[in-house]
Amino acid sequence: MKAEIDSLQTTYESHTVSDLTSQSTLLEQYRSVRTYTEALCKPLRVEDYIPQPVEFISPPKWHLAHTTWFFEEFLLCKYQPGYQRFHPDFSYLFNSYYNHVGTRVLRTDRGNITRPGVEEVYEYRRYVDSAMQELLQPDKITDELQEVILLGLNHEQQHQELLITDLKYILGHNPIFPVYSEGYTLTERANLETGILSIEEGLYGIGYNDQGFCYDNELGRHKVYLEAFEISKALVTNGEYLEFMKDGAYERFDLWLDEGWSWVKQNNAKAPLYWHNIEGEWYYYTLSGLRKVEPDNILCHINFYEAMAFAEWKGMRLPTEFEWEVAASQFQWGTRWEWTHSAYLPYPRFSKAPGAIGEYNGKFMINQMVLRGASTATSPHHSRATYRNFFHPHLQWQCTGIRLVR
């Protein structure tokens, strides 16, 4: 068992193949990404693939099928002459939110679809992989094709992160706290750096400015004027958050946004997600089981409201996404998705692609806050300083953290 885990961990750490800007061929990259998704599912039992405990969580089986459907729908059906769909109903079952592609299973009903079964979904993956192998012959790949393939691979990497965080949510809401894999945890990391970084006022360039792949929401390189600020090189730790809790965090309305305070009261919130107070001691659920909260490790699984209240308590604030992007070259990041104080809105000159691909990002630009960086759940190399992640302010289940500014 331990050997298998180590191997998974190694795969995880040394997983360079999805470096999509490297010299590896598209086919090699395709295989690498697709293999990694399945590696993440190795420790699962069939039962674990099925449930959808709340609307924003998708069943692992659905992630496996939906990422495959993306290649079938946007590549094989369009660019591979004579391609036969694996199953006529799969487009209906595994479309996520692309209205252009037709009707789909309601988002809340993903957990009820027991058939096709897990094995059939793996067959679907093999079937599509085999067809993709043909399509990905170097001589056939046009620029247009390459763009969609890279989008498909990045899409699958995003789902890898969701798959592992959704899975944690499923297992973490089982009262017997099952072990996904001994020794595997997303959250036990200490800060590598300390100290404060000073950034001068000035006009800075923001947005993607390189040759490789990026999402449309990073484009529109533009100038932003920033006032001088100081930013912490370290992220907030569990120990610091415990201080905040001891000081009455969840009972002090004056520290919270109005909607944050409503969230606290409606959910009777008392601690970050997955934390449990057992006879006076704080524990949290990790993918290797229930553990005592380690004060030196970096705080995880807090929502934007909690991040804001903590900053208020500390007399500091969260960085804007622009401040973060400008400073990011001078500190280590990648352990937590970091909440910024910026709403998710388009950059200047943003325009969405025509058709279904245009539904990828633009239509979600409302009522969400930007997160910057990457997390221990992010697929290796699937981030960059200009990457913009985004979630609704009440959600806690991603590997989120806090970096402070003053």
- Closest approach, Cβ 120 to its own copies, in A, equals 9
Instruction: Report if residue 345 touches its own copies, rule: CB under 8 A.
Output: yes
Residue among 8, 39, 77, 113 that touches its own copies (CB under 8 A): 113
Say which amino acid occupies 241: Y
Closest CB to its own copies among 120 and 188?
120
Instruction: Report if residue 1 touches its own copies, rule: CB under 8 A.
Output: no
Q: Which residues of 82-94 are buried (b: 16+ CB within 10 A; e: fewer)?
A: ebebbbeebbebb
Instruction: Report if residue 50 touches its own copies, rule: CB under 8 A.
Output: yes
**DSSP for residue 4:** H
Instruction: Report if residue 171 touches its own copies, rule: CB under 8 A.
Output: yes
Residue among 365, 384, 385, 395 that touches its own copies (CB under 8 A): 365
Residue 284: alpha-carbon gap to chain centroid: 20
Residue among 25, 42, 92, 144 that touches its own copies (CB under 8 A): 92
CA angle centred on 40, ends 36 and 43, rounded to 5°: 140
Instruction: Report if residue 176 touches its own copies, rule: CB under 8 A.
Output: yes
Say which amino acid occupies 73: E
Instruction: Report if residue 170 touches its own copies, rule: CB under 8 A.
Output: yes
Which residues within the stretch 243-272 sit at the binding site for its own copies (CB under 8 A)?
253-254, 256-261
Instruction: Report if residue 341 touches its own copies, rule: CB under 8 A.
Output: yes
Residue among 12, 31, 39, 53 that touches its own copies (CB under 8 A): 53
**DSSP for residue 190:** B
**Tokens coding 197:** 């970084």
- Closest approach, Cβ 185 to its own copies, in A, equals 18
Residue among 250, 304, 333, 397 that touches its own copies (CB under 8 A): 304
CB atoms under 10 Å from CB of 60, counted, come to 25
Closest CB to its own copies among 54 and 190?
54
List for the chain the helix, strand, coil content (%; round to 5).
45, 15, 45
Residue among 18, 68, 96, 111 that touches its own copies (CB under 8 A): 111
Q: Which residues of 245-277 are buried (b: 16+ CB within 10 A; e: fewer)?
A: beeebbeeeebbeeebbebbeeeebebbbbbee
Closest CB to its own copies among 149 and 163?
163
Instruction: Report if residue 363 touches its own copies, rule: CB under 8 A.
Output: yes
Number of residues that bind its own copies (CB under 8 A): 62
Closest CB to its own copies among 196 and 345?
345
For residues 173 and 78, give the distance between their C-alpha atoms in angstroms, rounded to a whole number.
41
- Closest approach, Cβ 307 to its own copies, in A, equals 12
The residue among 350, 186, 333 whose CA lies nearest residue 274 is 186
Instruction: Report if residue 208 touches its own copies, rule: CB under 8 A.
Output: no
Q: Which residues of 366-403 are buried (b: 16+ CB within 10 A; e: fewer)?
A: eebbbbbbbbbbbbbbbbbbbbbbbbebbebbbbbbbb
What's the Rg (C-alpha) of the chain?
A: 21
Residue among 39, 123, 145, 178 that touches its own copies (CB under 8 A): 178
For residues 366 and 31, give the distance between their C-alpha atoms in angstroms, rounded to a whole number.
35
Residue among 13, 45, 194, 268 that touches its own copies (CB under 8 A): 45
- Closest approach, Cβ 44 to its own copies, in A, equals 9
Q: Return residues touching its own copies (CB under 8 A).
A: 45-51, 53, 61, 89, 92-93, 97, 99-100, 105, 109, 111-118, 170-171, 173-176, 178, 203, 222-225, 227, 253-254, 256-261, 304-305, 341-343, 345-346, 348-349, 358, 363-367, 393
